[in-house]
Structure 1
């Protein structure tokens, strides 16, 4: 599943291409991907609407429309959003096409069909997409050491599992949780309740730093993004822990080990990241 850096990359690539464009028609062979409102209502509401910009909230992509409505997109496991010439051959698993007023199309492709779209109208309370349940953004001032300690410090769950809780911090997934804990020298299996004040201070400093590194590493031009068909590849030299089982630790050369925490794979250094 794409995490905050990948979703931010999608937003940054697509926004200059979509801002100011008008949706002239919607083609949707898989209307079940429209989660709210009913698909026919969704199509009617967005047809003729002008796109004013884009945003991101956690792992959600926001496409802002004139008059205050927002198309909300969650890519889930395999979703891709691409802007492509209307003449380009349609890829397999293309489930919705927004035809634009410049002979281009915004296409949503999703082989596993887990991704979803919602339309939030101006003034409508969002009690359907899950955004209202998200915690603060990792870059927000609120996401400080005191907040982290208050939100997680009483829990006996592994700190890795707590970092994945979107109601605490929005946007962190399995990959960047490993990278954050490696940088903070905290074992992912450590109960959150056993972390010290210094640990929380380190995490508050490191979380935005690691995610910014991920965003910079994921940078793509629109040409690169289109050539990759909206897919991304994690820059493994940038990743110090995730996916590096048995590789030498970049700090101490101890082989990294892999454990499973709450059903999720985690890689860490048993020497540098001591269990507390």
Structure 2
């Protein structure tokens, strides 16, 4: 599933591709993808004639703004957007098409059909699900060591599970939690509330640094992720632990191990992250 850096990269590329384009027609080939409103005809008719004005992100969600509406989109496992000429052949697994008055189309492709779309009146989107219960943005000024300490003090869950909880901190998934915990020297099964002030400050710094570097490298292409211009991410070349089970730690040469922590497969270094 695309995490914060990948979704932020898609946001940036979409912003270059669709701002100022006016929607002539919307076609939905997989109605179950549209969650709000529950009538696909209302969804398509509401968007026709609207012009995209901005593209924002909240955690792992994209928000495509027109003057009057906010389209909240979650890519899930393999969703991707792309802009094409209307004349170009439509690829298999393309489920939603936004046709523009300039002869181009924004197409949403999703092999697994897990992606979702919610359409709200602009200004209502943050107060309703799926955005209303999301936690703090880790790359925002609202995120601080004190905020992180307060969040972790409230739960005895393993730190891996706490960091994956989107109601606490948004945008973090398996890749960047594993990487941040490794760089902070924290075992993924440590109880969140047992972290010292110094450990929390180190973890805070590594979360910010890891996410920021990943955004600059265009995210991580582990399986099928590409941005809206069809380009892969490059941060996977910098990974220390994620996906490297059995390989030597880049810091101490100890073989990396894999466990289940927070309900997810987790790779860590038993030397650098002692339990």
TM-score by length of 2: 0.92
Name the structure 1 match of 2:94.
94
Report 1:1-276 matches (<5 A): 1-37=1-37, 38-67=39-68, 69-124=69-124, 126=126, 128-218=128-218, 225=227, 228=230, 232=232, 235-275=235-275
How many residues align structurally? 269
Structure 2: gaps (5+ residues): 221-225
CA contact (8 A) 1:84 1:226 kept: no
Per-residue deviation, 1:235: 3.6
When residues 127 and 226 of structure 1 are mapped into structure 2, their CA distance, relative to the original with a 3 A threshold, is closer
3-state secondary structure, aligned to 1:133:
coil
CA pair 125-63 structure 1, distance change in 2 beyond 3 A: closer
Query: Contact 1:52/1:64 (CA < 8 Å) preserved in 2?
Result: yes
Shift of 1:88: 1.5
Deviation at residue 225 of structure 1 after TM alignment: 4.7
- Distance in 2 of aligned mates of 1:267 and 1:214: 18
Question: Aligned partners of 1:139 and 1:86: how far apart in 2?
Answer: 37
CA distance in 1, matches of 2:206, 2:236: 19
Q: CA RMSD for the aligned pairs?
A: 1.8
Give the secondary structure class of the aligned counterpart of 2:266.
strand
Structure 1: distance between partners of 2:199 and 2:13: 35
Q: TM-score normalised to the size of structure 1?
A: 0.92
Q: Could you list the runs of 5+ residues in structure 1 that have no partner in the other structure?
A: none
Q: Which string of whole-angstrom CA distances, capped at 9 and with x for unpartnered residues, describes residues 116-142 of structure 1?
A: 111111343656542111111101222
8 Å Cα contact 1:217-1:238 kept in structure 2: no
